[in-house]
Amino acid sequence: MKRITILGSTGSIGTQSLDVISRNKEKFEIAALTCGKNINLFRKQLEEFLPDFGVCSEKNDAERLSAEFPNIKFLWGERGIEEAAMLDSDIVLNSLMGMRGLVPTYKAIMSGHDIALANKETLVAGGSVIMEAVRKKGVSMLPVDSEHSAIFQCLEGNKDKRIRRLLLTCSGGAFRGYSRAETEHITPEMALKHPNWSMGEKITIDSATLMNKGLEMIEAKWLFGVDIDDIEVLVHPQSIIHSGVEFMDSSVIAQLGVADMRIPVSVALAYPERLIFPDLSPDFFGKHSKMTFEKPDVDVFRCLLLAICASKLGDTYPAAMNGANEVLVQAFLNKEIGFLDIEGGVEKILNTHNAVKNPTLEDIIEVDKITRLETEKIIKC
């Protein structure tokens, strides 16, 4: 039986992960759960799974739950999350949102735990540091993002074969086909309507700007040890093929599946086994008779190019880009800036960034902190 720690159990990935675990309680037990502000949902999760350890954002929530669940140890805040990441477990599923997932991932790796990674910012900002830690400790880094899980599955049995390129698919987001002029009038409400996937607010906005695909390209670079130029993005509106690999002989292996995050979650948690989902058995070739592909429109959605640029510049440029994007997306959700101001702000940060060569974990954290302050100034101007 595998002991699982879930960082961010009340979010979209966290809840779907617990659904997978609840269907397979003979295979998994929960070591720790952490939550943000959704205490009512967290309480229900604690009642069902009875972890050894629970973490809340606020001290008063932790103290109140401690009185309700005397057999569970509670902590709070970022330090509590780090403690949970280091707790004895077989695998830590990191579904935290944004840069705050970096340090817990590092702590979990250095504690000798395998990682199921649903926090792409960990590798975007700190790829060199994190993957060096993975090599040093000899742990596994198992992707949870549907695209990276697809590539991971395609490479099973083919890890030593020569790869020509990785093929990352995307739906095109809520505004596929829009002109540049049309994007000027996009509101948060419009951007939060993703055509195929149910996701959190931040990742849904990133999908709309195509920044999410840029972040995924950087993540794939680190996960699979390829150059950013050997990763191609394909817009695939039907979201049936989740990604693929083209080998040097021009053969392409792709992974197909329904748009349900429980599948990549189960692949990561149960690896090398596969779990049974009797309610997820669609007639692909009856219901999905057409699959189309097209190039992303980078003239309209420039965030994808900015992410590629940051990756090629290297050092702390990706960390600066990521930090700026997080602040700008939140400002857009708060209706403080427009849709196109997200890419504009990221570009300004990249143009003025003073990169740190061969950064340490502390360097990356400091760059993120400074970048957020600089981005706030851009928003206020």
Could you tell me the residue ranges of all domains in the chain? Answer: 2-143, 148-260+283-380
d(CA 15, CA 22) in angstroms, rounded, equals: 10
Mean pLDDT of 25-50: 96
The pLDDT-based confidence of 281 (bands split at 50, 70, 90) is low
Higher pLDDT, 161 or 294: 294
Cβ(234)–Cβ(167) below 8 Å: yes
- DSSP, residue by residue, 10-57: TSHHHHHHHHHHHTTTTTEEEEEEE-SS-HHHHHHHHHHH--SEEEES
130: tokens are 């994190």
pLDDT score at 88: 94
Higher pLDDT, 276 or 129: 129
Q: What share of the chain is helix, strand, coil (3-state, %, to 5)?
A: 50, 15, 35
pLDDT score at 158: 82
170 phi/psi in degrees, rounded to 5: -150, 155
The pLDDT-based confidence of 283 (bands split at 50, 70, 90) is low
Same fold, 2-143 and 148-260+283-380: no
pLDDT score at 191: 87
Residue 83, number of CB atoms within 10 A of its CB = 18
Cβ(281)–Cβ(311) below 8 Å: no
The pLDDT-based confidence of 35 (bands split at 50, 70, 90) is very high
Average pLDDT, the chain: 93
Highest mean pLDDT, choosing among 104-118, 160-174, 236-250:
104-118
**The domain over range 2-143 is classified in CATH as 3.40.50.10860:** no
pLDDT digits (tens, 9 = 90+) for 307-352: 999 999 999 999 999 999 999 999 999 999 999 999 999 999 999 9
The pLDDT-based confidence of 135 (bands split at 50, 70, 90) is very high
pLDDT score at 369: 97
* CATH architecture classification, 148-260+283-380: Orthogonal Bundle (1.10)
d(CA 48, CA 63) in angstroms, rounded, equals: 19
pLDDT score at 287: 66
Percent of the chain whose predicted confidence (pLDDT) is above 90:
84
pLDDT score at 161: 74
Is residue 357 predicted with pLDDT exceeding 90? yes
**Nearby residues of 341 by Cβ (< 8 Å), 6 or more positions away:** 328, 331, 332, 379
94 phi/psi in degrees, rounded to 5: -100, 100
pLDDT score at 233: 97
pLDDT score at 279: 73
What do you get for the CA distance between the two ends of the chain, in Å?
55
